[in-house]
A and B are shown apart, each in its own frame.
Chain A
Amino acid sequence: MTQETTFAPSTVEEVRAAVADTRASHPRLLVTGAETASGWGAPAAPADAVIDTTSLTGVLKYAPSDLTIAVRAGTPFTTVQETLAEGGQRVALDPARAWRGATIGGLLATADAGPLRTAFGSLRDLVIGTTVVLGDGTVARSGGHVIKNVAGYDLAKLFHGSLGTLGVVAEVVLRLHPLPLAVRTVAVEADAGEAFDLAGKVVMTGLEASALEWSGGRLLVKLEGTPEGVEQRERELCRLGGTTARVLAVEEAAAAWAGVAASADGVRGTTVVRIGTMPVAGPALVTRMVAAGASVASSMAIGVHTVQFNGGDHDELLAQLHQEFGAAVTVLRRDGLSAGRGWGPPPAPVRVMRAIKRQFDPAGRFGAGRFSPWLEDEERAS
């Protein structure tokens, strides 16, 4: 990247000023957080300046009894979790890149989530308010500080997955959950098909597993709750899982989940994609990817698969995935891809996406290239 100017605002007002005062001097802006997701989507086009949100940090208000916290968007996710742990609470999210310093705003903008997505969803399901800054300097708030709220449109959802193309997310209010008193992981050896069947059974038995992740030839089941509840879950799961079901020791469990995170995170030279399918289509997809030499972490019960390809040129694999799974393939890391398009065929409502982009960022200031060619096609067409 060749940006000469970086703005590092530390308050909403400073974000507003940085955006509003640069309309003529620096028309095109790139919003960055901790740069843990630089490969997500299509490569960003060169910009005139970077709005670096890593100084936009700090907890604005933590209300433990109301189960809410308001933070500036550049706050590292791990910082938020540390603050909350003191109050016996958490944001029920476990994205792989958290340990590298990912920010709350960046996680919202990338629609990221980890294995807990099976029970709690992504930030989309946990965010209850946002403040955003648009390209003309408009500061807009939506939602609020209460977990139940239907006043007005939910703009936070709109910014979920926006990859910095609509504006800067400056503040975020989140709903919290209590930290579980007990956590245990049970591993069951299973191929993808068996894992899918077992995951279905676990869900139907009402065990309320908080994660059901297939990775490296086994289904990892995270059980959380009261000590009594977790013990009962563990017993029933071992019965359902059969002879290979095993309760993991603390260090073993940590290593197992670190392995899941590693295959979603990727290392230099790898390509990582996340694919959404109907859950039932998961086993076939995953089996094929494994046969092609990929490592896979799959949230089997809900049909979200994170696939890492190691070494070589992955353009053809990506093209195949796009062809078969359409728009629901997101590139998370692109080291094995040649520069160029990151996205497959546009999703059905791409016209709506474009109309929203035009309304929110009519001057096209933010995140050029990120959704290429989905948003750009429109410019050519009109």
Chain B
Amino acid sequence: MPQGLHAEFVEAVGADAVVSDPVALRSYECDGLTGFRVVPSLVLVPRTAEAVAAAVRVCAKHDVPFVARGAGSGLSGGALPVADGVVISLQRLRSVVEIDVVNRRAIVEPGVTNVDISRAAAPYGLYFAPDPSSQQVCTIGGNVAENSGGAHCLKYGFTVHHIHSAEVVLPDGTTTVLGGDSPQLGGYDLLGAFIGSEGTLGIATRITVKLLAKPAAVKTLVADFPSVEQAGDTVSAVIEAGIVPAAVEMMDALAIEAVEAAVDAGYSRDAAAALVVELDGPQAEVDAQFAQVKQLCEEFGATKLRIPASAEERALVWKGRKAAFAAVGRISPNYFVQDGVVPRTQLATALTRISELAAGAGLRVANVFHAGDGNLHPLVLYSEAAGEHERAEALSRAIAELCVDLGGSLSGEHGIGTDKACSMPRQFSEDDLATMARLRHAYDPSGICNPGKLLPTPRLCGERPGVYKPHPLESAGLIERM
């Protein structure tokens, strides 16, 4: 990085917020997807939204690419740095500005962790509904960028359903506010388009989130099944009965083994599959539907039902489920987490095809996932030392593309990032992608905001992108594309 530029960044954010020590820079070289690593030229750790904007203005002036970074827990390489660019870390913007009880919302800075929002709201009987398994560490800025989900999103929706507005620093360094005080706004839903844009349209510096009242009653059960198919059929039967559970999660034998090795959460080691079903709402309704769910589990061959008797026991069930990814480390030296979605009725087919693909590759795949909405998280286990990396990567990609072939999507919550940009043409046509590029171009005409993510680029995939840039005469209304 040229000396003059370095000085401009120092002026923008303060000397103590510029990291240039090569060793320190390396700790930003990747996010949760450790297969891709790039050391950035500089890391900025501003303390205020104004400083973030000042930093982006310097980037805009000199066409320096920048990448926003929250906790770096992303699993798709969304926060992967650009070698000749800067990383703007939001880790110091960590205050909960206000809990507005009357309007049931919280104003927070982007570096606040997901769980800290609920913690701050708890004294008022409120909480923030989206609950990614990584909620202890991931930031609300990252959640907004990824449109993160979680176990309870079947009933409550995703991050996009829980954000009122966001102050955003646009790629030209100006600041604006997307969204507003109520859902009634005039004009295009710019906030809706921003959420899930994976850090490619700007940096959120202040976010107003919706808070919900804690449900009146909650009931949870863990049901063991002799096969994943039976567990899957049970999920369909529950949905077809018109019940919308707060959560329906599934784990297969290998996932259960990992969880028990790590947490000892009381899952049955001999079950081929376990379902965690949670209902919440008014007591009488929860009771009635819970009885129905129990009955359906039994009808579809559940061998054991475990009903946590206390809040602590219920917390343990969830601790086990949420620890599943990390726990896999106990049974395999390395693993990839995949994140594809299939129409829920295709779950059994998807799982069968995944085990065939795994057998073909000579690798193990553990499954732990959001069964209610068909969001699979196959964990591809492998050993780097045994030279299995490439095979595992190929298997993981094959699984994501299988989801598309079954009528689903490449990603349900982890995002496309660097990881799956090259698979996007499997799900979308050239025209679809070119149209998405128009949106990006509207925000970021010079292409400096998290380049190389989400949309396939020649650098990544060896193909031409369909970036739409109108000819100046076209903008002037003198010619058109025919």
Q: A residues bordering B, Cβ < 8 Å?
A: 23-24, 41, 63-68, 88, 111, 113, 117, 121-122, 124-125, 132, 134, 136, 138-142, 144-155, 157-162, 166, 177-179, 181, 200, 203-208, 225-226, 228-233, 236, 274-281, 302-304, 327-330, 343-344, 347-353, 355-356, 358-360, 362-364, 371, 374
* Interface status of B153 (Cβ within 8 A of chain A): yes
Select one of A41, A158, A363 contacting B189, CB under 8 A: A158
What 1/0 mask marks residues of chain B from 406 to 432 whose CB sits below 8 Å from any chain A CB?
011111111110001000100111011
Contacts of A177 in B (CB 8 A): 244
- CB pair B282 A304 closer than 8 Å: no
B477 → A minimal CB distance (Å): 7
- CB pair A150 B147 closer than 8 Å: yes
What are 12 pairs between A and B in contact, CB < 8 Å? A88-B242, A134-B435, A145-B407, A146-B341, A149-B411, A150-B411, A151-B409, A153-B196, A161-B189, A207-B216, A330-B184, A347-B180
Q: Please judge, given known A-B contacts A141-B432, A147-B373, A148-B412, whether A158 and B188 are in contact too, CB under 8 Å.
A: yes
Closest-by-CB residue of A relative to B420 is A151
- CB pair A233 B282 closer than 8 Å: yes
- Apart from A158-B192, A303-B103: 19 A-B pairs, beta carbons within 8 A: A66-B343, A136-B481, A141-B428, A148-B341, A150-B415, A151-B410, A152-B455, A154-B160, A154-B196, A206-B216, A206-B282, A207-B282, A228-B287, A232-B283, A276-B183, A279-B103, A328-B182, A352-B442, A362-B470
* Interface status of B239 (Cβ within 8 A of chain A): yes
- CB pair B474 A362 closer than 8 Å: yes
- Of the four ranges (under 10, 10 to 19, 20 to 34, 35 or more), the interface on chain B belongs to 35 or more
A8 to B410, CA, bound (A): 35
A158 to B197, CA, bound (A): 12
Contacts of B435 in A (CB 8 A): 132, 134, 138, 140, 142, 155, 360
- CB pair A149 B192 closer than 8 Å: no
Closest-by-CB residue of B relative to A236 is B282
- CB pair B477 A160 closer than 8 Å: no
A233 to B281, CA, bound (A): 10
Closest-by-CB residue of B relative to A375 is B187
Closest-by-CB residue of A relative to B474 is A362
Select one of B178, B183, B239 contacting A67, CB under 8 A: B239
Q: Please judge, given known A-B contacts A138-B431, A362-B475, A363-B477, whether A150 and B412 are in contact too, CB under 8 Å.
A: yes
- CB pair B153 A148 closer than 8 Å: yes
- CB pair B176 A349 closer than 8 Å: yes
Name which of A122, A152, A178, A281 has the most chain B CB atoms within 10 A of its CB.
A152
A291 to B429, CA, bound (A): 55
Kindly identify, within residues 124 to 169 of chain B, every residue whose CB is under 8 Å from any CB belonging to chain A: 125, 146-147, 149, 153, 157-158, 160-161
- CB pair A359 B281 closer than 8 Å: no
Kindly identify, within residues 213 to 247 of chain B, every residue whose CB is under 8 Å from any CB belonging to chain A: 213-217, 236, 239-240, 242-244
Contacts of B104 in A (CB 8 A): 200, 203, 279
Q: Which 9 A-B pairs have the closest CB atoms?
A: A229-B285, A157-B192, A276-B184, A140-B435, A178-B242, A206-B216, A303-B182, A276-B182, A232-B284
Name which of A328, A351, A371 has the most chain B CB atoms within 10 A of its CB.
A328
* Interface status of B288 (Cβ within 8 A of chain A): yes
A236 to B188, CA, bound (A): 40
A333 → B minimal CB distance (Å): 15
Contacts of B436 in A (CB 8 A): 140, 142, 152-153, 155
Contacts of B158 in A (CB 8 A): 148
Contacts of B236 in A (CB 8 A): 65
- CB pair B183 A23 closer than 8 Å: no
- CB pair A358 B442 closer than 8 Å: yes
- CB pair B196 A178 closer than 8 Å: no
A114 to B458, CA, bound (A): 46
Contacts of A142 in B (CB 8 A): 428, 432, 435-436
- CB pair B443 A355 closer than 8 Å: yes
